[in-house]
Chain A
C-alpha cells in the first residue's frame, strides 16, 4: 500500500484517537502532586546480581500501588538512581534525593556499607528511610525501618540445624566489611552458645576471587562444616573452586548469604547441591501470596527465576510503607512514625511482615532451606521470628533520639 498524505493523516488521526483513549487513566489522581519514592540500588557492577531484581521489584510495587489508585488519591512517582556498586555514588545520590528531589521516602541500599553511607543523610533531612536487605543487625534509628532479616532471625537457625546435623567444629569465611565482620561475631556467639567452637574465621575483601590457599587451610583445620558469609560476584568463585576441588562432597557448607544473589542459578546443580541456608523467602513457598507475586512478575518481566529474597524484601518494604501511609492518612513524618510504631503488618510473598515497634525491625517467617537442583527447597519453617538480637540493645520507644548501630559483645 502506497502511503499518500491523506491515508497517512487518516491513519495518524485514528492512532492518535486510540492513544488518547488508551491514555485516559482508569482513575484520576486528583488529590495533589505526585508522591515521590526515591530508590538507590546497584543496577550494575559487582553487586548487580543483588540489585537488578530489586530494581525490578521496586518498579513492580510502585506500578501495583498506582494501578490500585495510588496513595491518598495521589500517584507515586519513582525516582530511581543506579549506584553502580560504588559507595561514592550512594553519598552523591542520597544528597540528590534529599535536597534536590525532596522525596517523601527512600527505599534502598544493599550492602551495609552503602546503608551507613546514606542513613545519616536521610536522618538529617527528615526523610523516612527503609532498608530492605538482610544484614548484621543492630541499627537503632527511629528514622529507619529495616525489613530484612537479622542474624537472630536467619543465622541462628542455620547454626542450630547444622550443628545438630554435622557437628560442632566450624570454619567461618566472611566478607571483609561491616556485614561480614559482625555476622562472623554472631556466628561465633551462636556456635559457642551451643558448646561448639569456631576453629578459624577468615575475612576477604569483596574483590578476592582466588580461594585456593583458603580451601587447603580449611582441610588442614578439619572442621565439621564451613559457614560462608561471602558477598558479591567475585566471592562466587569460592563455591566454584570449592566444588572444583571436590570438597563439596566431603565437608558440608552452610551460608548466610548464598541464594540471595542467585548464586544457586549461577552454579550448576552438582556444584550447589546440599548447601544449607536460612532466610525469609524461597520461590518454592506454596503460599497463595507468593504464587500471585510470581505471576505478576512473569507478566511484567518474564521468567521469575531471578527473584531472590532481597527483591521480595524490597517489594514488601514498599508495601509496608504504603500500608503505613494508608493507615496514617498522611505523609507527615511524625504521624507516619506513630503508625510505624503501632505494629502495622502486611501479607507479602514471603509471609506476614510486621514492624517490631521498639527497633523498627520486622517480625518475619524464616525458612531453613537446602539447595537442590538450582532451587531452594524448604526443610522447615518458623513463623514470626523476632529480631531478638537487636531487641537486646535497642528500644526506640524509651530512647527515641538514639542513632547508632550496636555490635554484639562476645
Chain B
C-alpha cells in the first residue's frame, strides 16, 4: 500500500517536472507560434543563477523563486528586442535564430562557469511514507508547479492583461484597432515565458548536477509535452504532462528508468499520429 503511495508521489513529481519545464515554452509557442529552440538554455540559465546566488550567500528560496525568473526574464526581454521581434511569422527563421542563440548561451555560460558539473544540496530533508523514505524537495516542486499553473490560469482568465494577451494572439488586427499594440503584448509574453523557464531552472537546480549543456536534457521533454498538448497553453500542457508523466513513471517502476523515457517518446509519436493538432486541438477545439 505504501509502495503504491510512493509510486503515486513519483508520478505526481514527474508530471510536475514536465509541466514546470514546459510552461515557458508552452506560453511562447502556444500564444505566439514562436518555436524557441533556446528554451532549454533558458532553463539552464535559471539553474546557474540559483547556484551562483547560493554560492554568494543569498537565501536559496529567494534565489530560485525571485532572482532566477527575474534574471532569465531580462535575458528573454533582450532576446525578444534584439532577435525575435524581427522574425514574427517566419517560423523557420526563428528556429534557426534561436538555435544559434542556444549555442551562444552554452558558450557564454561555459566561459563564465566552466564546463564543470555544479550543484547545490536540496534545502528540504526527506520524510517518511510508511517504511519508505521520500525526497521532501519533490513535494516542494509539486507545490511550486501547482501554484504556477493556478497563477497562469488566473492571469489569463481573470485579468485585463490576460484578456488582451489572449486577444492579441487570436486577432492582432482587432486588438490593434482597439488601441493596443500587439508588438508590445508579444514582448511581454515572451519575457514572461522566459521568466517561467528561469523559475523552472532555479527550482530544479538542487535535484541534478548542472552543466552548460544541460538545456538539451530539458528541451526534448518540454517539446514533446508542448507539441502533444497542442495550442491550448494550460489545458494542453497539463493533459500531456499527466499522460507522459504517468507512463514514464509506470514503465520506470515496472521495468527501468531508461525504458520509461523511451515509452514516453513512443507514446508521443503515436499520439501525434492520431492527433496531429495535439490533444487540445482534438478534444477542446482551438481555444486557449
Contacts and interface: CB of A to CB of B under 8 A. Distances in A.
Contact of B258 (A205, A216, A267): A205
Nearest to A52: B116
A241 B260 CA distance: 19
Given A212-B138, A244-B125, A233 B209 contact: yes
A107 B25 CA distance: 46
Interface in B54-112: 110
30 contacts: A45-B213, A49-B116, A202-B257, A208-B257, A209-B208, A209-B209, A210-B17, A213-B252, A214-B257, A215-B135, A216-B3, A216-B10, A216-B253, A220-B3, A233-B116, A233-B117, A234-B209, A236-B117, A237-B207, A240-B208, A241-B122, A241-B207, A244-B121, A244-B207, A245-B135, A245-B136, A246-B127, A266-B119, A266-B209, A271-B121
A343 to B, nearest CB: 39
Given A204-B258, A244-B125, A216 B7 contact: yes
Interface of A: 44-46, 48-49, 52, 176, 202, 204-205, 207-217, 219-220, 233-234, 236-237, 240-241, 243-247, 250, 266-268, 270-271
Contact of B126 (A233, A234, A247): A247
B223 interface: no
B6 interface: yes
B259 to A, nearest CB: 11
B121 A267 contact: yes
A205 B259 CA distance: 11
Nearest to A207: B217
A312 B145 CA distance: 46
Contacts of B135: 212, 215, 241, 244-245
A266 B117 contact: yes
Interface in B227-284: 249, 252-253, 256-258, 260
B159 interface: no
Given A210-B257, A234-B209, A236-B209, A219 B121 contact: no
Contacts of A207: 217
B126 A46 contact: no
A250 B131 CA distance: 11
B4 to A, nearest CB: 11
Given A209-B217, A217-B253, A234-B209, A49 B117 contact: yes
B115 A48 contact: yes
A243 B135 CA distance: 8
A314 B118 CA distance: 25
Given A236-B209, A237-B207, A237-B209, 6 more contacts: A219-B133, A234-B208, A237-B208, A241-B135, A241-B207, A245-B136
Nearest to A44: B115
Interface of B: 3, 6-7, 10, 13-14, 17, 110, 114-117, 119, 121-122, 124-128, 131-138, 206-209, 211, 213, 217, 249, 252-253, 256-258, 260
Most buried by A among B14, B116, B124: B116
A158 B117 CA distance: 27
A46 B6 contact: no
A46 B138 CA distance: 25
Question: 4 shortest A-B CB distances, which residue pairs?
Answer: A246-B126, A233-B117, A44-B115, A213-B252
Given A209-B208, A209-B209, A210-B208, A219 B257 contact: no
Contacts of B134: 216, 245
Contacts of B260: 213
A268 B121 contact: yes
Nearest to B210: A233
Contacts of B133: 215, 219, 245-247, 250
A213 B10 contact: yes
A295 B252 CA distance: 48
A241 B121 CA distance: 9
A283 to B, nearest CB: 20
A213 B249 CA distance: 7
Nearest to A213: B252
Contacts of B6: 216, 219
A52 B114 CA distance: 11
A244 B257 contact: no
A270 B125 CA distance: 11
B117 A208 contact: no
A244 B126 contact: yes
A240 B51 CA distance: 15
A89 to B, nearest CB: 14
Nearest to A47: B117
B144 to A, nearest CB: 16
B136 A202 contact: no
Most buried by B among A44, A176, A216, A243: A216
A48 B126 contact: no
Contacts of B122: 240-241, 244
A216 B110 CA distance: 35
Contacts of B3: 216, 220
A246 B119 CA distance: 18
A243 B134 CA distance: 10
A219 B128 CA distance: 12
B155 to A, nearest CB: 30
Given A216-B132, A246-B133, A233 B211 contact: yes
Contact of A204 (B13, B211, B257): B257
